[in-house]
């Protein structure tokens, strides 16, 4: 009998849509009408990141919030493939787990979403003191450089919850900043008022790409993943992740990137820019590399080289200060919880 594979992800609406995108791709390539084809089912679960909707992501300890419970289920053979937003996946995976596939990327930019009924179109149109909702330290740090007159406030919850908070008549927010890919996948692309692109705002590492995580010894799953992988996206995202891995940045560190593969004289050239910004926006380090690449390993080496250059030119000091600040704020939050308890 052909094997049945269980695809698993978080239980949010967006995560389920993304899982169904992968499911549809697999069923197209391995149609259920073919008796020799493997079959596929889905499973959804709530993670620690879904359960804690009150604290700022900056204080919550990194990307494993979204993946740890799922990876336990994978390693215990309860499920066979984990479907992730690749930007939420730690750059170092648990032993026995690998990224089997990276699918073609949606537009990775961030978008401005204006409160319903308002006529503003861009961040520059907003009155001084307007409150912008985002849970991303990266976005806040970069945008404070260009828009010091705006106020940035943490906003958590799934996309529908955040949009409801934005549109509430008595709500504080004039606008939100959200990943365009998520809006598009949820069928809400029309809510994007304008895109905020580099150099004003460099997007998150791997933003817009879906990934499939599998067990490293699951030969059948690894073979299935090969038909899902989009080579150009895999090379670019792997370079971005390699850069972040060297910088040791979690999902709440102000590291932004852009990457592009271009053909020059018959060879592929990876053009990659990465930025590291202090939380208050006052210190910013940025560098661009252009290097020929002929493999995924080559692309990763470009990312590693770019990170090393950044660290040698001021990024290390920024990241060290961020870690000290985070540790202090975590200790303060824990002390407040202890008092309240």
Q: Which residues are catalytic?
A: 88
- CA triplet 287, 132, 180: central angle to 5 degrees? 60
> Kind of pairing, strands 39-45 and 4-10?
parallel
Q: What is the DSSP letter of 189?
A: G
Edge-to-edge strand list for the sheet holding 151-153: 151-153, 131-133, 173-179, 110-114, 194-196
> Kind of pairing, strands 173-179 and 131-133?
parallel
> Kind of pairing, strands 194-196 and 81-85?
unpaired
Cα of 27 vs its chain's centroid, Å: 26
Q: What is the DSSP letter of 34?
A: S
CB atoms near residue 7 (< 10 Å): 20
């Amino acid at each position: 009998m052909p094997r049945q594979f269980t695809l698993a992800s978080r239980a949010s609406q967006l995560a389920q849509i993304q899982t169904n995108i992968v499911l549809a791709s697999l069923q197209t390539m391995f149609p259920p009408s073919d008796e020799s084809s493997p079959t596929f089912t889905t499973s959804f679960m709530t993670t620690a990141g879904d359960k804690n909707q009150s604290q700022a992501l900056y204080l919550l300890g990194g990307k494993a919030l979204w993946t740890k419970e799922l990876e336990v289920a994978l390693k215990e053979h309860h499920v066979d493939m984990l479907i992730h937003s690749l930007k939420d996946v730690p750059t170092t995976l648990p032993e026995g787990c690998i990224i089997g596939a990276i699918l073609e990327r949606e537009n990775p930019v961030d978008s401005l979403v204006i409160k319903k009924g308002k006529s503003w179109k861009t961040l520059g149109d907003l009155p001084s003191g307007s409150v912008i909702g985002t849970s991303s330290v990266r976005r806040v740090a970069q945008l404070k450089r260009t828009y010091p007159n705006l106020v940035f406030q943490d906003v958590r919850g799934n996309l529908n919850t955040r949009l409801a908070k934005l549109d509430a008549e008595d709500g504080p927010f004039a606008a939100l900043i959200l990943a365009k890919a998520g809006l598009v996948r949820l069928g809400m692309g029309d809510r994007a008022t304008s895109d905020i692109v580099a150099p004003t705002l460099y997007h998150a590492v791997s933003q817009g790409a879906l990934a499939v995580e599998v067990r490293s010894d699951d030969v059948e799953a690894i073979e299935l993943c090969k038909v899902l992988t989009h080579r150009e996206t895999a090379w670019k995202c792997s370079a971005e992740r390699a850069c972040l891995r060297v910088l040791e940045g979690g999902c709440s560190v102000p590291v932004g990137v852009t990457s592009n593969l271009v053909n020059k004289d018959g060879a592929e050239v990876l053009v990659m820019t990465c930025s590291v910004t202090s939380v208050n926006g006052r210190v910013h380090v940025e560098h661009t590399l252009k290097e020929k690449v002929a493999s995924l390993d080559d692309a990763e080496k470009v990312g590693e080289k770019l990170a090393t250059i950044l660290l040698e030119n001021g990024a290390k000091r920024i990241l060290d200060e961020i870690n000290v600040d985070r540790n202090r704020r975590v200790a303060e939050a824990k002390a407040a919880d202890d008092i309240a308890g």
